[in-house]
């Protein structure tokens, strides 16, 4: 018996979640849904994912493009045990999911208050166990939690400060700029700090953010005031034993987000994705009790394995966070 997963919103995140669900032995994709007849809809057909129309508006257009439609979104909700919402305005779907009586998960673009439960696999898997509605936090928040939470659990820290240097658009999104500018995010501090606290309220974190003209990977420069003055190797060992963190070294030629992406392609990752957080080993230092490190976040894919774990928790398929993480990772080829 496998859990039946429906994906509403077959775009940048949705297509990745669908493939990841498809890779799990205890889950299956019962269908994906999309609004407009772009090439992604044809692709869903090609990959054998039943395709459901999100609205009647474009039914003719799907027909014209030769895209087979298995039914409407309501049919998908009826067929699924759980819905992964990857639409741009997911909050609007909440009443629809409630009415259909289906469990649902949203992505980090939605507010914490939508579900009251914001999720990260390592940090609070237990809280999502059996829950009906969960929000998987954003790519940047996931990235911060991946590296900060293990330190919080291990030796603790009194304060963390992160500057998020954000890519300004997805690689395919050619409408958005800037082309030659740095644009500060003027909400001070940025929303990333509170978002980390929506998962682990005890973490003390101050964040600021800027947008820069790149389409690949967000980047974080982080300082952490440690509670215990350990050396750099202590932190590296800790992360070495934490899932979904991958070390890179400039001494092996990986000195930039572009090289991380090249590595991910060379490794044969689907779509050249990078589900792990990239941490520079030779950019990590503890000096006088302060840990400095740099990490890069693949905005399109780091949250995908967390989505899988969240399904497992919500559907009560696995009680132990580490076992779910291992299962997800093995199926997705992580590490």
Subset of 264-323 contacting its own copies (CB under 8 A): 265-268, 270-272, 280, 282-285, 287, 290, 292, 294, 296
Smallest separation, CB 128 to its own copies (Å): 29
Smallest separation, CB 113 to its own copies (Å): 22
- Give which of 210, 196, 197, 195 is closest to 164, Cα–Cα: 210
Count of Cβ atoms closer than 10 Å to residue 64 Cβ: 10
Residues 6+ positions from 130 with CB-CB distance below 8 Å:
313, 314, 316
Burial class (CB in 10 A: 0-12, 13-18, 19+), 318: buried
**Set 139, 286, 314, 332: catalytic member:** 139
Smallest separation, CB 212 to its own copies (Å): 4
> Which element (helix H / strand E) includes 145?
helix 139-154
3-class DSSP assignment, residue 203: coil
Smallest separation, CB 42 to its own copies (Å): 7
197 in contact with its own copies (CB under 8 A): no
Contacts (CB under 8 A) with its own copies, residues 127-186:
161, 163, 165, 167-169, 171-184, 186
Find out whether 190 and 209 touch, Cβ atoms under 8 Å: yes
Find out whether 20 and 307 touch, Cβ atoms under 8 Å: yes
Contacts (CB under 8 A) with its own copies, residues 7-26:
15
What residues pair up with 211 in beta bridges, in sequence order? 166, 183
- Residue from 2, 22, 26, 43 touching its own copies (CB under 8 A): that is 43
Closer to its own copies by Cβ: residue 40 or 132: 40
Find out whether 169 and 215 touch, Cβ atoms under 8 Å: yes
66 in contact with its own copies (CB under 8 A): no
- Give which of 240, 249, 235 is closest to 335, Cα–Cα: 240
- Residue from 6, 37, 50, 108 touching its own copies (CB under 8 A): that is 37
Smallest separation, CB 24 to its own copies (Å): 18
Residue 139 is among the residues annotated as catalytic for this protein: yes
215 in contact with its own copies (CB under 8 A): yes
Contacts (CB under 8 A) with its own copies, residues 226-265:
250, 252-259, 261-263, 265
Please give the positions annotated as active site. 139
């Amino acid at each position: 018996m496998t859990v039946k997963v429906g994906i509403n919103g077959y775009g940048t995140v949705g297509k990745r979640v669908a493939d990841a669900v498809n890779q799990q032995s205890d889950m299956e994709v019962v269908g994906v849904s999309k609004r407009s007849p772009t090439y992604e809809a044809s692709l869903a057909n090609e990959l054998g994912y039943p395709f459901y129309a999100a609205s009647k508006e474009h039914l003719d257009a799907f027909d014209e493009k030769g895209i087979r439609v298995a039914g409407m979104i309501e049919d998908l909700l009826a067929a699924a045990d759980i819905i992964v919402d990857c639409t741009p305005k997911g909050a609007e779907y909440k009443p629809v999911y409630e009415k259909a009586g289906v469990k649902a998960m949203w992505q980090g673009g939605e507010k914490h208050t939508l579900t009251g439960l914001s999720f990260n696999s390592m940090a609070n898997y237990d809280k999502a166990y059996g829950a009906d509605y969960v929000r998987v936090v954003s790519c940047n928040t996931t990235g911060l939690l991946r590296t900060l939470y293990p330190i919080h659990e291990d030796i603790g820290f009194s304060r963390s400060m992160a500057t998020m240097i954000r890519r300004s658009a997805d690689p395919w999104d050619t409408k958005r700029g800037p082309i030659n500018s740095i644009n500060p995010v003027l909400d001070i501090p940025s929303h990333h700090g509170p978002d980390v606290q929506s998962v682990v309220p005890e973490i003390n974190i101050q964040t600021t953010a800027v947008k820069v003209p790149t389409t690949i990977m967000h980047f974080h420069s982080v300082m952490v005031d440690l509670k215990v003055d350990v050396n750099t190797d202590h932190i590296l060992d800790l992360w070495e034993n934490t899932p979904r963190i991958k070390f890179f070294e400039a001494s092996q030629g990986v000195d930039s987000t572009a090289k991380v992406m090249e590595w991910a392609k060379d490794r044969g990752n689907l779509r050249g994705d990078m589900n792990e957080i990239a941490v520079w080993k030779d950019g990590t230092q503890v000096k006088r009790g302060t840990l400095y490190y740099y990490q890069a976040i693949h905005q399109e894919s780091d949250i995908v394995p967390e989505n899988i774990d969240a399904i497992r928790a919500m559907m009560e398929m696995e009680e132990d966070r580490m076992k779910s993480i291992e299962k997800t990772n093995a199926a997705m080829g992580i590490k």
